[in-house]
Amino acid sequence: MHNVYCSTGALIGKPNGRDYRLLADCAKHIECDGFEFMMYGDWYSEYETAAGYILKNGISAPVFHIEKQVGELISRNNPGDAERAFGLFEINCKTAKLIQSHMLVLHLWGGIDSDKDISNNINAYKTLRGIADSYRLTLTVENVVCNIAEPFTHMLRLTEVYPDIKFTFDTKMAQFHRQLERLYTLPREWVAKHIAHMHVNDYCGGYMDWNNLKTLHLGEGNIDFLQFFEYVRKNYTGDFTIESTSFDKSGTIHFDAMNKDIRFVKEHLK
């Protein structure tokens, strides 16, 4: 049976002060099977306090999204960046362990520098994987958008270097590069071995349309989710996270919009 999680990043962000203390109320209103906890850079100085809040309020967060600065630092690769990235990654792992997450989602590349020197990012995975393994956490690499090439090229290269690597597959990221159809051509064995988690998000832009990278609710973009769910029902046994932005410019959280997405996913997984 598939679980459908909600990303905390879809509920809290800059407009509402990135206040993790909003999550207790969110948990009462969101009809999910748990949360994917999105780490923000603002929380490094109080990660233990944040983790304590999550536990105290009984918030289930099986999946933990690594703070995006980790991949950005690895991509920039200035002197000291790798060491800084590895240090931040370990704090993320400590936080994930404290809140009893078991899976990590990593942007292995990111920011303006993105995949300009992808060999460096691929090499860095070994160190990151070692840290994650030491905390007994499953590390997955997300198919995030690229500036130079495209995600599947990097994913396939990663599988050659690290044959047991796991990925989180994001529908929006794939559609940005017009690679969603490619998922449907992959051998079922490859999907079962490497894709450990999925993000279900919509996208309304064209090929590499940077002006339309916003994470949309299902049905607001151009992804054919009927085709997607027909495929996953036959080929994928893992869980899903919905990241559709559900707060407005004032910071008000729209629970109904997120719940509508959750119901849609659950209905189409039957």
Using one digit for the tens of pLDDT, what is the confidence trace for 113-129? 999 999 999 999 999 99
pLDDT at 139: 99
Percent of the chain with pLDDT over 90: 100
What pLDDT, in 10s, does the model give residues 157-176? 999 999 999 999 999 999 99
The partner residues of 35 in beta bridges, in order of sequence, read 6
User: What confidence tier does 156 reach under pLDDT thresholds 50, 70, 90?
Assistant: very high
For residue 119, CA distances in Å to 77, 168, 174 come to 11, 20, 21
Tally of CB atoms within 10 A around 99: 20
Residues sharing a CB contact under 8 Å with residue 115, sequence separation 6 or more, in sequence order = 75, 109, 121, 146, 147, 148, 149, 154
What pLDDT, in 10s, does the model give residues 60-117? 999 999 999 999 999 999 999 999 999 999 999 999 999 999 999 999 999 999 999 9
Residues sharing a CB contact under 8 Å with residue 183, sequence separation 6 or more, in sequence order = 169, 174, 191, 231
Please give the structure tokens belonging to residue 129: 């994987």
The residue assigned the tokens 């994913």 is: 155
What domains sit in the chain, N to C, each tagged with a CATH number? 4-268 (3.20.20.150)
Residue 151 has pLDDT above 90, yes or no: yes
Average pLDDT over residues 24-32: 97
pLDDT at 235: 96
pLDDT at 1: 83
What pLDDT, in 10s, does the model give residues 205-246? 999 999 999 999 999 999 999 999 999 999 999 999 999 999
How far is the C-alpha of 149 from the C-alpha of 144, rounded, in Å? Answer: 11
User: What confidence tier does 262 reach under pLDDT thresholds 50, 70, 90?
Assistant: very high
pLDDT at 62: 98
pTM over 0.95: yes
The residue assigned the tokens 């690769």 is: 77
User: What confidence tier does 43 reach under pLDDT thresholds 50, 70, 90?
Assistant: very high
CA 266 to chain centre: 19
